[in-house]
Amino acid sequence: MFVAPASRTTFTRTHLSRASGLTLVELMVAIAVTSLMVVVMLILAVSTGRSFVEMVNYVDLDHNNRMAMDIMTRDLRQVRGLETLTSTSMSFFDNDGQLLQYSYSPTDQTLVRLKGAEKVVVLEGCNKMQFAVYQRTPKSNTFDLYPVTQTTNTKVVSVTWNCTRKMFGRTVNSEQAQTARIVIRNKNEL
């Protein structure tokens, strides 16, 4: 079908320039808003990623502390008695007659379990560890126990430690101090 030239719509030069795109000011505002949105999204992504890594690290630290406490509790409940106690180590006569030792190294920040030729690192990243031994008898009207004057009187072993980890160049996770009073069950068999 043929259309007559008079019926066609024609655009003038001014009408074409208005419909052709963005002005420079509109383009600059769009770039600024887009850049701001990208920066906000990056900050949010980095913050979320860091929080996730710290949470996973904290869960791992808590798991390691619980496992170390379980191992020590299992071992110390079964020993026959305490042989020696220092500020960084404890040695026990084990149920099978072998020597069982727990040794803390402040420089390496590790707790090591030694029995015979077997050496196992039980805990890593341990900033502080304290050992104490007590008699069975509690002090009057308290939950406190009497300290031991001779190692042969040891019935209760108290262990306290605190662990931290560093991430991104700073200390980010600190586990609450783990504390346990472990009663030696086989003490009377000596």
pLDDT digits (tens, 9 = 90+) for 140-167: 888 888 888 887 888 889 998 888 877 7
Backbone angles phi, psi at 31, to 5 degrees: -65, -40
What share of the chain in percent tops pLDDT 90?
31
Specify the range with the lowest mean pLDDT, choosing from 115-129, 157-171, 174-188: 174-188
**Tokens, residue 163:** 């662990």
| Amino acid 2: pLDDT | 58
Strands 118-124 and 170-174, by their bridges, are unpaired
Kindly tell me if the per-residue pLDDT of 190 is higher than 60: no
pLDDT of residue 61: 85
Instruction: Report residue 189's pLDDT band, with 50, 70 and 90 as the boundaries.
Output: very low
Q: What is the mean pLDDT of residues 59-77?
A: 90
Reference 122, options 68, 48, 56, 187; nearest CA is: 68
Lowest mean pLDDT segment, chosen from 7-21, 24-38, 43-57, 64-78: 7-21
- Using CA atoms, how far residue 147 sits from 13, 85, 136, 140, in Å, is 100, 13, 9, 14
CA nearest to 161, candidates 119, 187, 136, 132: 132
- Mean pLDDT (the chain) is 83
> By 3-state DSSP, what share of the chain in percent is helix, strand and coil, each rounded to 5?
35, 35, 25
Give residues with Cβ within 8 angstroms of 123, minimum separation 6: 64, 65, 68, 110, 111, 161, 163
Pairing mode of beta strands 156-167, 170-174: antiparallel
pLDDT at residue 103 tops 70:
yes
Look up the pTM and report it: 0.71
Residue 56: band (very low, low, confident or very high) from pLDDT cuts 50, 70, 90: confident
Asked whether the predicted pLDDT for residue 8 surpasses 80, the reply is: no
N- to C-terminal Cα separation, the chain: 116
DSSP string covering 137-179? EEPTTSS-EEEPSSGGG--EEEEEEEEEEEETTEEEEEPPPEE
